[in-house]
Amino acid sequence: MPGNRAVVYLGPGEVEVQSMEYPELVLPDGPGVHPDNAGRKCEHGVILKVLATNICGSDQHMVRGRTEAPEGLTLGHEITGEVVEKGRDVEFIQVGDLVSVPFNVACGRCRNCKERHTDVCLHVNPEKPGGAYGYVGMGGWRGGQADYVMVPYADFNLLRFPDRDQAMEKLLDLTMLSDIFPTGYHGVVSAGVTVGSTVYIAGAGPVGLAAAHSAQLLGAAAVIVGDLNEERLVQARSFGCETVDVSKGDIKEQIHEILGVPEVDCAVDCVGFEARGHGAGSVEEAPATVLNSIMDVARAGGSLGIPGLYVTGDPGAVDEEAKEGTLKIRFGLGWSKSQSMVTGQCPAMKYHRELMMAILNEKADIARAVNATVLGLEDAPAGYKDFDRGAARKFVLDPHGVLKDKRVDTEATLRA
């Protein structure tokens, strides 16, 4: 069997690339695996050679120690790869196929999967609805920041790329289909973005940038991105977004300067539970800030998309209530404005095929929008540290060198 390396969480602020066993068509016991899932047979699964796997802001929450993730957890839920082995029960996916893996682990058989709610599959996680690769509390499915990974329910889960050569040419864009692109798209679709909409995107991290690009694809008239980080705001402006610095005054006043009115049609939270306060001099964490701000800036009768992550267990939260996900949101404000909101993980499978076609037909340029930056798998620890400081980049790990011509000078890039 070939060797296998993987990115492993060691504790707050620390990850390491370690050697580990080559995957089999079974969910092995280990850190984060629910006891009722350990040893689960997966003849419906495949083994992938990972061609690209990305560092996500959700991974960063764990690495900061802001979840109950156990030490030793293999990270990575954004996976694109080549099928190198398939189980006895796999009928349609073939060895040699290049595929995108939705970050949601889903069985395809339960009521929720049949209703396209693959984000809350009822059969893959004994603890609660919903499963994911390499993530705390999501069933213990081994993460894909690795050379090789096992993917269950392959016929249902995997999105096969129609042409191998075209897929390899577009791999840096296609790797965004596993999570970030559908998640950003889900946020703006949930907020009702359409032709002519004015949109406020809270957060200029990779998901916020993906949401902004998605709003442009849907025909938004104006896309305004807000953040505290000027480097990330520069990236948003690089592909045509307006921006507001939420540390420099009232958001509504800044929106008024851009649009002539102090409100937008639609608003999206791409920040989540580690949000900080807004306004001059405000640097303290205030987890309900973004939720309250999007209710404030969205028009009466408008909709809110909330793909930003919120958790029920945060040991580093600012108070006891926030540690269990209880936040002081101004629900009365949203109610009085008759606003609707959509929360929760993105059901990636709901959108990934149409977004794939947009990429393959030159209608979407998602890698440029999120500033995709390629590193070797061995450089993952440095990538995590740079991402933690707020780098305006989406780090793509390249375990097998298939993106070698797109790799950056790691030392110079991470020092910049």
What's the pLDDT score for residue 175? 98
Over the stretch 270-315, which tens digit does the pLDDT of each residue have? 999 999 888 776 678 999 999 999 999 999 999 999 999 999 999 9
Coil vs helix vs strand at 194: coil
Q: Render pLDDT for 109-168 as a digit per residue (tens, 0 to 9).
A: 999 999 999 999 999 999 999 999 999 999 999 999 999 999 999 999 999 999 999 999
Contacts for 405-414 with beta carbons within 8 Å, 24 or more apart?
406/172, 406/374, 407/374, 407/375, 407/376, 408/373, 408/374, 408/375, 410/375, 410/376, 410/379, 410/382, 413/373, 413/386, 414/382, 414/383, 414/385, 414/386
pTM above 0.85, yes or no: yes
Nearest Cα to 398, choosing from 77, 55, 102? 55
Q: What is the largest CA-CA distance in the chain?
A: 63
Residue 279's pLDDT is what? Answer: 79
pLDDT of residue 152: 98
Confirm if 268 and 200 have CB atoms less than 8 A apart.
yes
Could you give all domains of the chain from N- to C-terminal order, each with its CATH number? 5-178+348-415 (3.90.180.10), 185-343 (3.40.50.720)
Output DSSP code: residue 134: T
Tokens of 383: 């990538």
pLDDT at 249: 86
Report the pLDDT value the prediction gives residue 409, as an integer from 0 to 100.
62
The rounded average pLDDT for each run of 10 residues, N- to C-terminus, in the chain (416 residues) is 93 97 97 96 98 96 95 98 98 98 98 98 97 97 98 98 97 98 98 98 98 98 97 98 94 97 98 88 84 97 96 92 93 96 96 98 98 97 96 98 81 54
| Inter-residue long-range contacts of 317-322, CB under 8 Å, 24+ positions, other chains counted | 317/66, 317/273, 317/287, 318/284, 318/285, 318/286, 318/287, 322/273, 322/287
* C-beta of residue 308 within 8 angstroms of C-beta of residue 270: yes
pLDDT at 139: 97
